[in-house]
Amino acid sequence: MAKRLRSSELCADCSAQDPCWASINRGILICDECCSVHRSLGRHISQVRHLKHTPWPPTLLQMVETLYNNGANSIWEHSLLDPASVMSGRRKANPQDKVHPNKAEFIRAKYQMLAFVHRLPCREDDSVTAKDLSKQLHSSVRTGNLETCLRLLSLGAQANFFHPEKGNTPLHVAAKAGQTLQAELLAVYGADPGTQDSNGKTPVDYARQGGHHELAERLVEIQYELTDRLAFYLCGRKPEHKNGQHFVIPQMADRRLLDLSELAKAAKKKLQSLSNHLFEELAMDVYDEVDRRETDAVWLATQNHSTLVTETTVVPFLPVNPEYSSTRNQGRQKLARFNAHEFATLVIDILSDAKRRQQGNPVSGSKENVELILKSISNQHSSESQDNDQPDYDSVASDEDTDLETNAAKSNRQKSLDSDLSDGPVTAQEYMQVKNALVASEVKIQQLMKVNINLSDELRVMQKKASKLEKQSSVSESDYDNPTAPLELEETGSGRKGRQRSIIWQGEGSIPEDTDTAPSSSLPSTEDVIRKTEQITKNIQELLRAAQENKHDSYIPCSERIHVAVTEMAALFPKKPKSELVRTSLRLLTSSAYRLQSECKKTLPVETCPTTDIQLVTQQVIQCAYDIAKAAKQLVTITTKENNN
């Protein structure tokens, strides 16, 4: 890792001291509170990484340091440096400002709207402007002036611009000149190390030819960054690119940890039949989801005890990227529904197929297999899709907002099944729909776990869901209070694999409700709930530190302390709360604590567990801890609102 940043740094957005996060593509450092807003914007706006608790390629950290120290923040706050801005009342946020709305509005204006960047004079032909900027970038990357290149990129210069006269891209120029930090910056903005110039050479070739061997090795790593990140997420290992090994395909020692249902096999076949373009889109979406999950884990491990009752929060699913279609955005958000085992299966499938595609190995008879499998599962798919069609996530701007779409909606739904059996290519979204059938039972729970960044907005959403749930109380009760679920897990035979996902969240550790007891609307004091929440959070932090330090023998005692704290918190509430929101949050809290204990027990004895097994268990442990924290925060929010009314 490169040298640690100086201790005198300030947050680029609010000037708070000692920022511990970086926004890689913006070249800045930010504090916890501002980072929570950056994360909610999405990686297409800001790519955040913790300075201490996330592994860094040394030259990437050095690139961020250099940009920060050379005033990259002035690019994003150009007009605020004008004295006229002070006169007009425009100012940046300060550490004392509230996250919402003050800091959030400023950060969105600064990075999403680019409200303060230097504007070029308006020209009729924007493409000419972009071409001119890209040519300037092409010339600038041979020097060490990173800020100039970031400014050009912020104005619209293209990192993959192919110079018609020179016959190469900016990355070719940077590699030939040995400009490692310029290469890092270009790669962050999408430059492809595998692009060939007019002579058929790649940037890697030029780096080696110029004797810049470390840069050449780093460019190879960048070329395989997506698959390397997916492999490291599962098994903690990366391939040895120096030795010609470019892929690591994790092999689960216990095959039962993999999703081997017929729907999973069908999904894998559909994955193999995707075009290269659609496969790349899906792989990039899964990469973003891995980043979200890993950053959430770091977030939980680094927050203080009162974080759950502040305005900062985790990001429950991938934010909307307006450059993507509404269907792709919805598919990306549904990735958050996968539990650790299901997500691991998807990641392994992607890694395996990425290797197959690079080696040029064909899939024999894949189209026929897909059609046969789709015919066999179409009835189940169509029935379960009724639950998946609910607008559970962020509103997504449609790319077909026309009257024709409204009038033809019914016929399009009818055609959707026919398109699965057509001769056309299988889309990434169709693959996601088949895969989502595996986790249909988690949908309703995940609906209730949506967390908006603005707490007042969150309360309004929860109140709307409350009225909806009350109308469907009989359905909700049967879904979440199945007292036979644990027995079914033990007693079912060959059907166990197929039914495990539909019952694993039901009944386990949930609060038994006495049907003879009248519903109670009384709630505990906010102070008591906050005190118990802080106790839970403290224990969760201890568990996550153990996970980070690979102290697997600490999992069980940590989980037991969490279970005790959860039980004490649940005891504060009446046996049968009148509020459906309270009941649902309590069920999530206690069932997650139950599952956490079960997962932690899998670490014994440690010496008999392969590394890949432990890694997968650790991911599940982190997910359980995450769910407990969210449920506790929901209960604090509800009691605070109700007690203040």
Higher pLDDT pick, 101 / 4: 101
pLDDT of the residue at 630:
80
pLDDT of the residue at 580:
84
pLDDT of the residue at 262:
73
Report yes or no: 412 and 404 within 8 Å, Cβ to Cβ.
no
Ordered domains of the chain (ranges, CATH): 21-112 (1.10.220.150), 126-223 (1.25.40.20), 255-445 (no CATH), 474-644 (1.20.120.330)
pLDDT of the residue at 104:
93
Residues 442-451: what's their mean pLDDT?
Answer: 37
Buried b (16+ CB within 10 A) or exposed e, 572-593: bbbebbebbbbbbbbbbbbbbb
Higher pLDDT pick, 77 / 455: 77
Of the candidate ranges 9-13, 106-110, 328-332, 501-505, the one whose mean pLDDT is the lowest: 501-505
Query: Which residues are CB-neighbours of 488 under 8 A, at least 6 positions away?
Result: 499, 503
pLDDT band at 125 (very low <50, low <70, confident <90, very high): low
Report yes or no: 628 and 589 within 8 Å, Cβ to Cβ.
yes
Residues 17-42: what's their mean pLDDT?
Answer: 95
H helices within 192-325, ranges in order?
203-209, 213-223, 225-235, 262-273, 276-302
Residue 475: Cβ-neighbour burial (10 angstroms; 0-12, 13-18, 19+): exposed
Buried b (16+ CB within 10 A) or exposed e, 284-295: ebbbbbbbbbbb
pLDDT of the residue at 520:
75
Q: Is the pLDDT of residue 335 over 90?
A: yes
pLDDT band at 237 (very low <50, low <70, confident <90, very high): confident
Beta partners for residue 48, in sequence order: 23
> 579-622: per-residue pLDDT in tens?
888 888 888 898 888 888 888 888 776 454 444 467 777 777 87
Residues 86-105: what's their mean pLDDT?
Answer: 82
Taking CA atoms, 458 is separated from 42, 187, 455, 595, 641, in Å, by 19, 37, 5, 26, 11
Q: Extract the tokens encoding 556.
A: 């069980």
Angle at CA 85, nearest 5°, toward 82 and 87?
120
pLDDT of the residue at 122:
63
In three-state secondary structure terms, 310 is coil
pLDDT of the residue at 281:
94
pLDDT band at 433 (very low <50, low <70, confident <90, very high): very low
pLDDT of the residue at 310:
52
pLDDT band at 123 (very low <50, low <70, confident <90, very high): low
pLDDT of the residue at 456:
43
Q: Is the pLDDT of residue 19 over 90?
A: yes
Residues 163-174: what's their mean pLDDT?
Answer: 97
Q: What is the DSSP string of 581-597?
A: HHHHHHHHHHHHHHHHH
In three-state secondary structure terms, 516 is coil
Q: Extract the tokens encoding 377.
A: 């599962």
pLDDT band at 311 (very low <50, low <70, confident <90, very high): low
Q: Extract the tokens encoding 257.
A: 């940890």
Tell me the average pLDDT of the chain.
75
Query: Which residues are CB-neighbours of 300 under 8 A, at least 6 positions away?
Result: 314, 540, 541, 544, 622, 625, 626, 629
Of the candidate ranges 13-22, 58-67, 525-534, the one whose mean pLDDT is the lowest: 525-534
